[in-house]
Amino acid sequence: MIVSKKDIPNFLDKLISEYQVFAPVKEETYTLFKQICSGADAALDAGNTKLPAKEIFFPQSEKLFSYNVSEEGARLEAPVDDQKKVIFGVRPCDAKSLTLLDNVFNNDKYQDPYYLTRRNNTIMIGIGCNSPASTCFCTSVNGGPFDTKGLDLLLVDTGDAYVVEVVSDKGREIAEKAGFAAAADANKDAAAKVKQDAVVTCQVNIDGLKAKLDVNFYDSIWEKIHEKCLGCGACTYLCPTCHCFDIVDEATDCNGCRVRNWDSCAFPLFTLHGSGHNPRTSNKERYRNRIMHKFKYFVDNFNEIACVGCGRCIKNCPVNMDIRVVLEDIRGSEARLDS
Amino acid sequence: MKNPYLPLPMKLVKNFTETEDKLIHTFTLQYLNEEDEKSFSYMPGQFAELCVFGKGEAPFGIASSPTEPGFLKFSVAKVGVVSTALHLMEEGTIVGVRGPLGNYYPVEEFKGKNVVIIGGGFAFTTLRSLATYMLHPERRGDYGDITVIYGARNPGLLLYKEELAAWEQSPDINLVTTIDRPVDGWNGRVGFIPAVTEEVAPSAENAYAIICGPPVMIKFTMPVLEKLGFTPKTTIMSLENRMKCGIGMCGRCNVGGKYVCKDGPVFTRAQLNQLPNEY
Amino acid sequence: MQKLTAQIKDAAKKLLEEKKVDLVIGFAEGSLPLRGTPFFARTSEEADKLTWSRGCENNLANYLRKREDKVAVVAKGCDVRSIVALIKENQINRDNLYIIGVPCNGMIDRKKVNAMLGGREVLAMEENGDTVVLKGKDFSETVNITDLLHSSCQDCRYGNPVVYDELMGELLPEKGEDDFADVKEFAAKSAAERRAYLAKEFSKCIRCYACRNACPMCYCEECFVDCSQPEWIGKSAANTEDNILFQVVRVFHSAGRCADCGACERACPMGINLRLLTRKMVNDVKELFNAETGVNMDDKAALATFTANDPEPFLVKE
């Protein structure tokens, strides 16, 4: 199928009457996913958003429930957001990150109703990346600029129009309802050409990385690697696969609500025991955990790397800690196999 | 979809000062509805998030045993926001309980075996649950000898003193209590847990050892247990790490790839040997 | 720049080879165009990676607190001011620190580069005297460096290190006084306008604390935002007022200690205009106490000294 770019606002406006529609919106110097009221508000050519699409499903701050407590008992209200949503213009790396987060929020024992209800009620319409940035390395971590994981529809930008690839039944339904025209062979060829030309230039060799991480927990490499890291949470908050959170009460007396906020393994308080003991004493342990979590623990638990190669951490780190360099350094280090 | 974040409202019926230093209180909580009790089906070794509305929630091991119907018991040290609020709480107040969470002591595997329980300080809460569970008249026959070695700095810091006194008299359990330094009026043993364990020398034959206590106690007792013949598979520990969600999502309590809240808190020494020492 | 780089390498190698220091903290070439990244050299071979460019923007004073080892630091003007302030606060032992001073006439702001290129990605930047060539896929643009400097560098009057053990290159000509025109312009707005502007800026805050952690002067063992007993401030980034409160308290806490290096604003991933607040404080300290942070070793920190005849106009209003 195919849709002309000038028809996109109209397509979005129709969706808006039925769904909450989220799309990248221009904010001064970057874009963010926001709910749009008009199809014209979507900024589609601006590359990846500053914050990943995860925030739509797992907001930085979210009320879990409100409560009113009296002598007789407690009245809890936990409204779960079950509004139908469409995410338009999500990039393949962000779409894939959600399939990774699904493992966490739908684990072997528990389901997170807030995240999963949103996931189940959301249609994901992605746009492939014709010109991946120099910081993108999706193809090194089992992704790609036109990867369809986590998407219902994938749009391929062929200049004046998007060639629409149907990925799921949900996607087919929405495309048919929108009345997208059939793509001519020429359009399909153009899309194929675009895909072929979109080269992710940056390759990170991760062969043998996992094997190394399996044995190098006590290796001296960790003493050096973290050294310039400031221990702030910028990389974790901008990361599409980081999912750590804190739970706090916001209350006055017996009325209040329980809220969860993003948290970061980079912060010392994250693991501090009530006794004062901290199992991750210094930045070294905390940085090691971040790398281990993404490239070893997550692989052990879910057989997937918890990194989609979006490059946000690279572009935004205040001291240019570059995860690509870090991984290379680890891979190239002499791991003590006996440790 | 069941919402794992919602606490069960319960009534605080007893706020009991457990230790002489007043830093540990034992809280007895009662269900508000009968159905709630049915939905809260737990085993010794599990924990729950106790919530003080307006202050937040914190995880504590369940000190009562499922063989004690009608209430839940928690012994809590005053260290943080939630525990401080609990200590100051008036009886009759409504609190929240979220759980039961985590795995439990492998009581099925213990059947037909001797069980050695070693505890230090206030890390005796889920061990009390375990001992009480096994001592229940309907279950006592399932297990061989039950030995409990329990120590504290001084007699006033031992938890559950009345129960300990009853256990002293019971033929069903071999209780050894010890304190760090001699005190007037104390007729029991004096000495640290590792040394006392070596003296008591429980047999590792057909036996499991379960050990909970401060890190330094664990560190020095482990070699003793090894010498006695307890293997990594027959040595069981319960870990503590800072937790929030209790359901393996919030990311802070991991030891290697395992979450203490979801995959633990109970681990065998053999399992822990596979993990880094971040606890 | 190449000359400076060579000089820095030589100085660092000499210090390490003669075992005068255990470690040299400077910059190595980073992974992005014209980006220096903090680098820790412990051997002469490692020192060979040291570099100097218009991308060495981090304030390295941040890595110098409470160190046991003997350290040399490659420090530009603002780094040195922070170092001086930290020495006065007993966070740095001057005897264990060797300052390799580098006169600096400003660092390039990649956010400005990106804004100028309007979404096109810069793949290489080449310095060429007063201009820089920005190169990307299918484009090459030559721009005046002064247009791309960090605003903190444009305002900076202390590009020359005020204290050093060894100077790289030549001292630069002194600049005139800072007129704080930006602060005055903002102060002249109505309260409602100021409030609206701050609300807009701080609605962007994600509470990653990059500003705090990048600041060499933010070293409290427990930051007030992290404290839970009492909980001074809400933890949620959704509350703009709490975000403002966080920054305002942080700025108050840096009164007389902030060298206006701009590290906080550079670190902010969300592009918040943080220096509006820090500069207001710097301006106030200058006007009220005639004090500037870290401009010499002799002055006491503004809030660490008083005289009986202090006017205290902020306490008593006639």
**Residue B253, annotated ligand binder?**
yes
Domain end, chosen from B47, B77, B100, is at: B100
The CA distance from C145 to C152, in Å, is: 14
**Residue C19 shares a structural domain with residue C163:** yes
**Judgement on whether residues C232 and C255 belong to the same structural domain of the protein:** yes
Q: Is C237 on the interface with A (CB under 8 A)?
A: yes
Cα–Cα distance, B135 to B130 (Å, whole number): 9
**Count of Cβ atoms closer than 10 Å to residue B140 Cβ:** 14
Same domain for C162 and C183, yes or no, is no
- Please check whether residues C198 and C290 belong to one and the same domain: yes
C318 within a domain of the structure (yes/no) = no
Asked whether residue B115 falls in the same domain as residue B92, the answer is no
Are C115 and C238 part of one and the same domain?
no
**Are C231 and B81 inside 8 Å of each other by CB?**
yes
Asked if the C-beta of C179 comes within 8 angstroms of chain B's C-beta atoms, the answer is no
B153 domain residue, yes or no? yes
What gap in Å lies between CA B116 and CA B148, rounded to an integer? 6
C190-198: list long-range contacts, CB under 8 Å, 24+ apart: C198/C244
Let me know whether B124 and B199 are in one domain.
Answer: yes
- The answer to whether residue B133 sits within a structural domain is yes
- Residue-wise pLDDT for B203-250, tens only, equals 999 999 999 998 899 999 999 999 999 999 999 999 999 999 999 999
Q: How many domains is chain C partitioned into structurally?
A: 3
The domain of C144 spans 110-148
Let me know if residue B231 belongs to a domain.
yes
In a domain? residue B261? no
Residue C82 lies inside a defined structural domain of this protein: yes
For A57-89, the pLDDT digits (tens) are 999 999 999 999 888 888 999 999 999 999 999
B positions 153-192 inside 8 Å of C (CB):
none
Query: C153 lies in a domain?
Result: no
Looking only at the bridges linking them, the beta strands covering C139-144 and A122-127 are unpaired
Tell me if A11 sits within 8 A of A36, measured CB to CB: no
pLDDT recorded at residue C302:
87
Average pLDDT over residues A297-313: 97
Residue C131 included in any domain: yes
Residues C188 and C306 in one domain: yes
**Shortest alpha-carbon distance between residue B82 and chain C (Å):** 10
User: Cβ A247–B244 below 8 Å, yes or no?
Assistant: yes
Same domain, B152 and B95: no
User: Are C197 and C309 in the same domain?
Assistant: yes
Residues B28, B143, single domain; the answer is no
- Any domain includes B263: no
Give the residue numbers spanning the domain of B148. Answer: 107-238
Specify whether B159 is located in the same domain as B194: yes
Q: How many CB atoms lie within 10 A of CB C316?
A: 7
Residue B278 lies in a domain: no
Q: Is residue B252 part of a domain?
A: no
Q: To the nearest whole percent, how much of chain C has pLDDT over 90?
A: 83
**Total number of domains constituting chain B:** 2
Contact partners, residue B184, CB within 8 Å, separation at least 6: none
Same domain, B208 and B122: yes
pLDDT at C318 over 60: no
- Percent of chain C at pLDDT > 70 equals 97
| Spatial distance between the Cα atoms of A296 and C214, rounded to a whole number of angstroms | 29
Per the DSSP assignment, residues forming a β-bridge with C56 are none
Look at residue C303 and tell me if it is in a domain.
yes
**C196 plus C301 within the same structural domain:** yes
pLDDT of amino acid A338:
44
If asked whether residues B201 and B88 sit together in one domain, one would say no
Q: Name the residue among C36, C204, C214 with its Cβ closest to that of A232.
A: C214
Looking at the fold, whether C207 and C308 belong to one and the same domain comes out as: yes
- Tell me what the pLDDT averaged over chain B comes to: 95
C305 and C255 in a common domain: yes
Task: Chain A: list its partners (3+ Cβ pairs within 8 Å).
Answer: B, C
B186, B168: one domain? yes
- How close C249 gets to chain A, by Cα (Å)? 18
How many other C-beta atoms are found inside a 10 Å radius of the C-beta of residue C193? 11
- Are residues C184 and C300 both part of a single domain? yes
Q: B3-56: per-residue pLDDT in tens?
A: 999 999 999 999 999 999 999 999 999 999 889 999 999 999 999 999 999 999
Block residue for tokens 């400097």: C149
| φ/ψ of residue B27, rounded to 5 | -110, 130
pLDDT per position as a tens digit, C68-89: 999 999 999 999 999 999 999 9
The answer to whether residue C172 is domain-embedded is no
Q: Give domain status of residue C260, yes or no.
A: yes
Element holding C288 (H helix, E strand): helix C275-289
Q: Are residue C16 and residue C163 in the same domain, yes or no? A: yes
